[in-house]
């Protein structure tokens, strides 16, 4: 904590999509949970001096910088929030932990298992000095999903047997959609699998409280070349991925993620079927959870906006619905609460590594059998 005023100085590294989402969270968290340690939006970091400066002013930051290493040296920065492409996560996060900063890293934790393992090692060492770290799986902070987890943990749907989870987007349907860092293996690690599949695998672990033990998967790239800055380029990641998973609690999961699902913008849908009930969630109606509990015959729609439901006591009266960006505010609040209590926030880097292991196993699997054409009998 900055000695001068007892306020935590935050630096966000990256100011594109996730940097903006996290900036909004740091701006809003004090109003949502005023009892938590106060934060100061100290410095926003990016590569382009003019653009990062403009973004910093627009997003409420006191300053901007183009040098993340120099930012790690500063005494007025206590928390470093990493929102850059995946190939930069490990280097920045490890350096920040070594510099004694608390660290949040946007999901997925890293692009490779080797990087994720290094980050876990650094987090474990830092933990012994009271330095905290967390990976940003924001959907854990959707009130309806946090409630779903409680129902599973309380046994309200019995023993979980089957899960269906799909995360579908359509921003790559257009074959002329341009190349970006998200479509290059060297910067993104993988495509829909890492970006969307990481959320899906994290939700399975979060909702069920179980580990994935076996996978069978397949990835596919539908459009293999796209226009880039230097002419047409090869797409080196998947557009979509499918997998079936088994968990250590005996559940079977079917998982599907895609950036080619025409007409679906950001559709995360989850069904959890248990021996005594089921749960259904759709991100496009994120204030709702369909629940069939305690052996009931039918599912009913529950509007998750009551103050006694997860995350809702700090917001508005019942029925005043929340949105996608609130999940980042909840994430910042959970992180601050853990710091205030001297505890490790979740999900930890170890959780991020566990997700990474499942994703890598999905990529490695995919030895598919040819279906032989039956020979007509003569
Ligand atoms: C990808 O399009 C993306 O921005 C993800 O990276 C986010 O994690 C997801 O929440 C929304 O979609």
Place of tokens 């259904």: 280
Query: Counting atoms of ligand 1 from 1, which one is nearest the CA of 169?
Result: 2
Asked whether the beta carbons of 289 and 188 are under 8 A apart, the reply is: no
Asked whether the beta carbons of 72 and 375 are under 8 A apart, the reply is: no
Q: For residue 336, give the nearest of 123, 96, 132 by alpha carbon.
A: 132
Which ranges of the chain have pLDDT less than 70? Answer: 1-4, 366-368
Query: Counting atoms of ligand 1 from 1, which one is nearest the CA of 107?
Result: 8
Q: Cα separations (Å) of 351 from 133, 201, 204, 210, 372?
A: 11, 10, 12, 12, 41
What does the pLDDT read at residue 2? 55
Give one DSSP letter per residue of 236-271, joined into a string: -S-SEEEEEEEETTS-EEEEEEES--TT-SSEEEEE
Token pair belonging to 274: 């248990």
Q: Could you report the predicted ipTM of this complex, rounded to two decimals?
A: 0.92
| pLDDT tens digit sequence for 219-268 | 999 999 999 998 999 999 999 999 999 999 999 999 999 999 999 999 99
Contacts of 132 (CB under 8 A, 6+ apart): 102, 103, 126, 335, 338, 339, 343, 344, 345
d(CA 79, CA 121): 19
Asked whether the beta carbons of 44 and 68 are under 8 A apart, the reply is: no
CA dihedral 201, 215, 269, 84 (to 10 degrees): 40
- Ligand 1 center–CA 153 separation, angstroms: 27
pTM above 0.80, yes or no: yes
Place of tokens 């800055």: 229
Nearest protein CA to atom 9 of ligand 1, as residue: 196
Q: Is 266 in the pocket of ligand 1 (CB under 6 A)?
A: yes
Q: Is 169 in the pocket of ligand 1 (CB under 6 A)?
A: yes
Output phi, psi for 161, to 5 deg.
Answer: -105, -50
Asked whether the beta carbons of 104 and 351 are under 8 A apart, the reply is: no
Q: Is 195 in the pocket of ligand 1 (CB under 6 A)?
A: yes
What does the pLDDT read at residue 367? 62
Q: Is 309 in the pocket of ligand 1 (CB under 6 A)?
A: no
Q: In what order do the strands lie in the sheet with 267-274?
A: 212-220, 240-247, 252-258, 160-168, 267-274, 278-282, 288-292, 300-303
Asked whether the beta carbons of 260 and 244 are under 8 A apart, the reply is: no
d(CA 267, CA 37): 34
Q: Is 327 in the pocket of ligand 1 (CB under 6 A)?
A: no
Q: Cα separations (Å) of 88 from 82, 115, 236?
A: 9, 10, 18
């Amino acid at each position: 904590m900055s000695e001068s005023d007892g306020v935590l100085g935050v630096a966000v590294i990256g100011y594109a999509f996730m940097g903006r989402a996290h900036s909004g969270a740091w701006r809003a968290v004090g109003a949502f949970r005023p009892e938590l340690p106060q934060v100061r939006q100290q410095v926003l970091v990016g590569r382009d001096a003019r653009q990062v400066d403009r973004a910093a002013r627009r997003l409420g930051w006191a300053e901007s910088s183009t040098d993340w290493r120099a930012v790690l040296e500063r005494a007025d920065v206590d928390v470093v929030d990493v929102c850059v492409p995946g190939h930069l996560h490990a280097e920045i996060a490890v350096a920040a932990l070594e510099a004694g900063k608390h660290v949040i890293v946007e999901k997925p934790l890293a692009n490779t298992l080797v990087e994720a393992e290094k980050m876990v090692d650094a987090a474990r060492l830092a933990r012994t000095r009271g330095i905290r770290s967390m990976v940003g799986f924001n959907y854990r902070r959707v009130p309806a999903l946090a409630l779903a987890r409680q129902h599973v943990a309380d046994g309200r749907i019995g023993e979980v047997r089957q899960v269906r989870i799909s995360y579908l987007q359509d921003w790559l349907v257009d074959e002329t959609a341009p190349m970006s860092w998200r479509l290059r293996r060297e910067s993104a690690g993988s495509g829909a699998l890492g970006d969307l599949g990481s959320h899906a695998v994290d939700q399975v672990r979060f909702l069920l409280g179980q580990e994935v033990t076996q996978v069978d998967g397949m990835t596919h790239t539908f459009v293999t070349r796209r226009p880039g800055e230097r002419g047409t380029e090869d797409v080196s990641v998947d557009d979509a991925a499918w997998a079936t998973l088994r968990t250590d609690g005996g559940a079977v999961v079917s998982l599907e993620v895609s950036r080619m699902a025409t007409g679906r913008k950001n559709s995360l849908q989850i069904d959890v079927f248990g021996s005594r009930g089921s749960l259904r969630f759709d991100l496009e109606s994120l204030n709702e959870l369909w629940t069939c509990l305690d052996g009931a015959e039918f599912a009913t729609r529950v509007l998750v906006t009551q103050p006694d439901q997860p995350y809702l006591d700090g917001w508005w009266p019942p029925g005043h619905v929340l949105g996608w960006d609130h999940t980042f505010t909840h994430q910042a609040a959970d992180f601050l609460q853990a710091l205030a209590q001297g505890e490790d926030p979740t999900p930890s880097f170890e959780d991020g590594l566990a997700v990474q292991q499942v994703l890598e196993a999905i990529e490695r699997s995919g030895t598919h059998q040819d279906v032989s054409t039956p020979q007509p009998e003569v």
